[in-house]
Amino acid sequence: MAEPLFKGVLPALVTPFRDGAVDETAFVALVERQIAGGVHGLVPVGTTGESATLTHDEHRRVVELCVKTTAGRVPVIAGCGSNATAEAIELARHAKRVGADAALVVTPYYNRPSQEGLYAHYAAINEAVQIPVLVYNVPGRTSIDIANDTLARLSKLPNIVGIKDATSDMTRPSIQRLTCGEDWVMLSGDDATALGYMAHGGHGSISVTVNVAPEQVAQFHNDALSGQWPGALYAQDRLIRLHRALFSDASPAPTKFALAHLGLCSEECRLPITPASEASRAEVLAGMRDAGLV
């Protein structure tokens, strides 16, 4: 079987703010911490990076900063999603220009396109930019679900290389293994079910929890990828409360609270995301204790 283009754990990086602006010093330090913790790649300006409330200039700057800081040590998959195809193409072109290794492109939100519209969206990006593209399927946020049949069609296009799957549907990787070919990259977009996803043939995950616990989550993925399932299950048990806690309030507020508790950045988010509630903070701290972080 061919080695996947991307595998293991890739953090969906937070974008730290201070006094309303991107805190570039903190961002660089977070990238270095992730690489030191053993992650297999980096994903700036996705949902967890608050891409929806970054300006275009901030978005581009964060991608550039991630690529520059990483300096080729691990792959960088830049968030390039938009519900406007032309804007997604422009962001993907920028990612390619500054040296990102791939683009992560969410299914168009709000518009609710048909399956044919979804195919045409990704086909246009495939045609316009020579960069590997991962489809990001997260129906809970976008109100649209890209079907396995559509993914099978997209997998035939040279630049559409895989998926970030946040559906928590464990049957999908098995079906896609059969319909999309052995080169199709399959990354989970849900920490809590990543163990099951990899057991069904997935290659890793784009993770929120790894922002907080890089060593623990990286080791979990190394165990799963090498078939050391008892070790992976032990790590799952230690991490599951943290996985859940980081979504106990609007993301990424709980994650930023955890990072602030560790002294790594401010917990500041952009409106309409507000700071984590007291109940959420208590859950996060309990999860961090389970994971051995506090």
Q: Mind telling me the catalytic residues?
A: 136, 164
Q: Are 77 and 103 in contact (CB under 8 A)?
A: yes
* Residues β-bridged to residue 135: 105, 163
**Sign (positive or negative) of CA dihedral 46, 73, 23, 91:** negative
Question: What sign results for the dihedral spanned by CA atoms 92, 40, 155, 150?
Answer: negative
Phi and psi dihedrals of 146, rounded to 5? -80, 125
Cα 85 from Cα 199, distance rounded (Å): 34
Q: Are 175 and 200 in contact (CB under 8 A)?
A: no
> What are phi and psi for residue 17, nearest 5 degrees?
-120, 155
Rounded to whole angstroms, how far apart are CA atoms 10 and 210?
8
